[in-house]
Each structure stands twice: as structure tokens, then as C-alpha cells.
């Protein structure tokens, strides 16, 4: 097991490769011609709502389900129809699946004993992995004497002690309370960095995926709608679904009006215009219709003043709702086009917060503006990959 961390990753070495993988249940397509490569040593997440195909994808990689068509390659070996116990893969389930009649030591040592590893080596490996998950000295505890977070770490230790090439994690934090879940996100990423093993994590929780992942995919109806680093997928959503599922977005309907010097102008319903970097336009638009977007935290809000100087995109509106959240203020602003725009402003005391009913100006840099296809316009896998 490597202690080199992510700095020692072989960034160009593919650990998992799925090619045209499809899975149907009684004629219903759960995963639809999925193409995906996961690199050696990555923390990679499958993110999406219930029923999007993420758990089915994980189960096919683990060998618990067979694909209807397509191929699955692990570590350069085709394992499409190989049994789970013949794959160099371990899994941490939602329920942890610890053995209640065994103490912590025997739970962690279980897989090593099945491999007939010598007693001395078992002792060394179990001790080392308990150090990594920060539970040394717990060897003789019964699992029912442990907290939920401790049980999760023992389940993780039991999976990692066998040094698999790939660890699958199926929503392992779903049973934890919010505070402990946040703590475990940080710990889990730290553990993955220390052991250097490829983690494939399934979740419907955007914060979990954003916090821990080197890369992630957003899935919907068995297909990939967005893929990349958390920051890239967040800042450059590929579809309207990704823009709205991964965080909050303001999306305004508009039409492409023209392009100049790397900037595309979008006209809104009442004649207002917004500029978008041309590089952030969706490819192969079927017509002029487009949704132009900006994240709420990218916007600055100012009480209207005819002498106010702004740079970048601007819209005028009136505050409908102003809410103080402690760390900042949240506003709902109705623009002259009738659209509602959400704004998050930090509480840094620079100026008085606008109040409900006040006329305001919203402004943000052009480079923080993006555009996506309207939801009714589909996107192909080939276009997304390009």
C-alpha cells in the first residue's frame, strides 16, 4: 500500500474502462451505452438522483450485475463476465456489513485469513490499517460498541487491508448525521490520499462529491450529462440538468444575437442583453435558443444609483425577498424581464444590504457567465465526450 498519496498517481494509467456498457431490466434501460475511464489512484464519484443508474454502474464494475452489452476492463483485464471474487475489487456498502459476533481485529482480518495470510503478517497489516483509519487500540472492541462513524472506518479498514486495485463505495455515509458526515468526508479523502488506491464513490449528495472527488460524473437516466473536476463541472455545466443539479444556478432564456472578439451576445426576452465567452457556448446548437446562466455567489448586488459604474454583465431589478443567513445575505430579485434571480452576498460589512422593495443593479464578470442547451434539447454521448 503506497503512502506517497495522490502525488504519486499515474495520471495517465487507466484503472477502469467501460465501453458502450448498457444494462436493461425487463426491457427498461438502467444504464445506456456508458463510456467511462477512471485513472489509477483517482477518487472518482458517480453523482446523480435516485434511479439515474449510478449504483447499477458500480454493481456491474464489482461483478454483482452483468451488463446487457458492452465491456468492462479493470487493470487492463477484461472482467465483463468475471465473478466478483475473481476481480481485484473490494466494496464498502451502505450497511457496512460488519460481523457482529467478531471483534474489530477479526472483522478487519477476515479477508486476510481467507487468503491464508500468515499470523504475523495479518497482525502487521491489521495494525497498520487501523493506524490509517485512526482506530489503533480498538482491536478487542465489539462492533456494537462503536459509533456509526467508527463502524464505517472499520468497514473501510476491512476493505483496504486486502490492498485491492479498486475500492467501490456505495453511499457509505447515508446513515450518518450531517455533522459526522461532513467530518467523514474529510477523513475519507485523507485516507484515500494516504493509501493511493482508486476509489469509486456513489452518492446523490452534491457536497460529498464536490468535497472528495478528483473527478466526477453527473448521471441522469442512465447517461453521463457532465464529467470533469468538481470545479470544472460546477463552473462549466454541460447541460441545464447539470447546472441545476450541482448547486444553485440562475438560468435565463435567450437567443444568440451575434459574436465578436471571443464573446457571444445573448438577447433576453425584453431586449436586455448578456455577454457569454464564446468558448462557453454549448456545441452544435440546433437554433438560436439558449439558456444563459450565472451562479448566485458570482453576482454583486448594488442599490440602484444612476451614477453607479459597473463592469461586465448587468441587470436591473427589484428585491422581492432579502434573507439574513449569518455568513451572508440571500436575495431574490425580480428583473425587468420578469425573471427571478438568486444572489448570495457575503457578510463582510462593505455596504448596507439592500432591503425588500428596493431597486437594485446586479453585476458580474462576463467570464463567470455560461450557456447551456434548453432542457428539451438532448445532448449525445459523443458531443459530451468532445
The full set of domains in the chain, from first to last, is 5-235 (3.40.50.300), 249-385 (2.40.50.140)
Find the mean pLDDT for residues 37-60. 96
* pLDDT at res. 381: 44
Q: According to the model, what pLDDT value does residue 351 have? A: 66
Among candidates 47, 49, 70, 45, which has minimal Cα distance to 60?
70
**Which residue has better confidence, 351 or 199?**
199
Q: Partners of 251 in the beta sheet?
A: 293
d(CA 18, CA 373): 27
Q: What is the pLDDT of residue 177?
A: 81
Decide: 383 and 237 in contact? Cβ < 8 Å. Answer: no
Percent of the chain with pLDDT over 90: 65
Residue 348 confidence (pLDDT) above 90: no
Q: What average pLDDT score do residues 58-67 get? A: 96
Read off the pLDDT band of 139 (50, 70, 90): very high
pLDDT, tens only, 224-239: 999 999 999 999 998 9
pLDDT at 3 over 60: no
User: By percentage, how much of the chain surpasses pLDDT 70?
Assistant: 92
pLDDT of residue 180: 83
Can you tell me the distance from the alpha carbon of 163 to that of 159, in angstroms, rounded to the nearest whole number? Answer: 8
What's the pLDDT band for 9 if we cut at 50, 70, 90?
very low
pLDDT at 183: 85
Residue 350: the pLDDT is: 63
Banded model confidence at residue 10, pLDDT cuts 50, 70, 90:
very low
What average pLDDT does the chain have? 88
Region 9-30: mean pLDDT is 84
Q: Is the pLDDT of residue 219 over 70?
A: yes
How far is the C-alpha of 17 from the C-alpha of 39, rounded, in Å? Answer: 9
Does 364 have pLDDT greater than 60? Answer: yes
Strand (E) positions, 123-192?
166-170
pLDDT greater than 60 at residue 135: yes
Q: Which long-range contacts (CB under 8 A, 24 or more apart) does 8-11 make?
A: 8/41, 8/196, 9/39, 9/40, 9/41, 9/42, 9/196, 10/39, 10/40, 10/41, 11/39, 11/40
The answer on pLDDT for 385 being more than 80 is no
Beta bridge partners of 39: 14
* Amino acid 45: pLDDT: 97
Confidence band for 149, pLDDT divided at 50, 70 and 90: confident
> What band does 7 get if pLDDT is binned at 50, 70 and 90?
very low
pLDDT score at 384: 45
- Kindly indicate the confidence band of residue 379, based on its pLDDT and cuts at 50, 70 and 90: very low
Which range has the worst mean pLDDT, 78-87, 254-263, 280-289?
280-289
Please tell me the pTM assigned to this model: 0.86
Strand residues in the chain grouped as ranges (E): 14-25, 28-39, 43-47, 69-74, 77-78, 89-92, 166-170, 198-203, 215-220, 223-228, 250-260, 263-267, 273-277, 289-294, 300-303, 313-324, 328-335, 340-346, 359-364, 370-372
Amino acid at each position: 500500500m503506497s503512502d506517497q498519496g495522490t502525488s504519486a498517481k499515474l495520471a495517465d494509467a487507466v484503472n477502469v474502462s467501460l465501453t458502450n456498457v448498457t444494462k436493461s431490466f425487463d426491457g427498461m434501460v438502467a444504464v445506456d451505452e456508458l463510456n467511462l475511464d477512471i485513472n489509477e489512484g483517482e477518487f472518482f464519484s458517480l453523482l446523480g438522483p435516485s434511479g439515474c443508474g449510478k449504483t447499477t454502474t458500480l454493481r456491474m464494475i464489482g461483478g454483482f450485475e452483468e451488463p446487457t452489452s458492452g465491456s468492462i476492463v479493470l487493470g487492463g483485464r477484461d472482467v465483463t463476465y468475471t465473478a466478483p471474487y475473481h476481480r481485484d475489487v473490494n466494496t464498502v456498502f451502505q450497511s457496512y456489513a460488519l460481523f457482529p459476533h467478531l471483534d474489530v481485529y477479526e472483522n478487519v482480518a477476515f479477508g486476510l485469513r481467507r487468503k491464508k495470510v500468515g499470523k504475523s503478517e495479518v497482525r502487521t497489516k491489521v495494525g497498520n490499517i487501523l493506524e490509517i483509519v485512526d482506530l489503533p487500540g480498538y482491536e478487542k472492541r465489539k462492533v456494537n460498541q462503536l459509533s456509526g462513524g467508527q463502524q464505517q472506518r472499520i468497514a473501510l479498514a476491512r476493505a483496504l487491508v486486502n490492498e485491492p486495485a479498486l475500492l467501490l463505495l456505495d453511499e457509505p455515509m447515508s446513515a450518518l448525521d450531517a455533522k459526522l458526515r461532513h467530518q467523514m468526508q474529510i477523513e475519507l479523502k485523507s485516507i484515500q490520499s494516504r493509501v493511493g488506491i482508486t476509489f469509486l464513490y456513489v452518492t446523490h449528495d452534491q457536497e460529498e462529491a464536490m468535497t472528495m472527488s478528483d473527478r466526477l460524473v453527473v448521471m441522469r437516466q442512465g447517461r453521463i450529462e457532465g464529467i470533469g473536476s468538481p470545479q470544472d463541472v460546477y463552473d462549466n455545466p454541460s447541460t441545464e440538468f447539470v447546472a441545476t443539479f450541482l448547486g444553485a444556478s440562475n438560468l435565463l432564456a435567450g437567443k444568440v444575437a451575434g459574436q465578436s472578439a471571443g464573446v457571444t451576445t445573448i438577447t433576453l426576452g425584453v431586449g436586455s442583453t448578456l455577454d457569454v465567452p464564446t468558448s462557453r457556448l454549448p456545441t452544435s446548437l440546433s437554433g438560436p435558443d439558449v439558456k444563459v446562466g450565472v451562479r448566485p455567489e458570482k453576482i454583486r448586488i448594488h442599490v440602484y444609483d444612476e451614477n453607479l459604474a459597473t463592469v461586465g454583465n448587468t441587470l436591473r431589478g427589484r428585491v422581492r425577498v432579502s434573507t439574513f443567513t449569518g455568513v451572508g445575505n440571500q436575495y431574490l430579485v425580480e428583473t425587468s424581464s420578469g425573471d427571478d434571480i438568486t444572489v448570495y452576498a457575503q457578510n463582510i460589512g462593505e455596504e448596507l444590504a439592500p432591503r425588500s422593495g428596493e431597486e437594485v443593479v446586479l453585476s458580474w464578470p462576463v467570464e463567470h457567465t455560461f450557456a447551456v442547451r434548453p432542457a428539451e434539447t438532448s445532448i449525445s454521448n459523443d458531443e459530451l465526450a468532445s
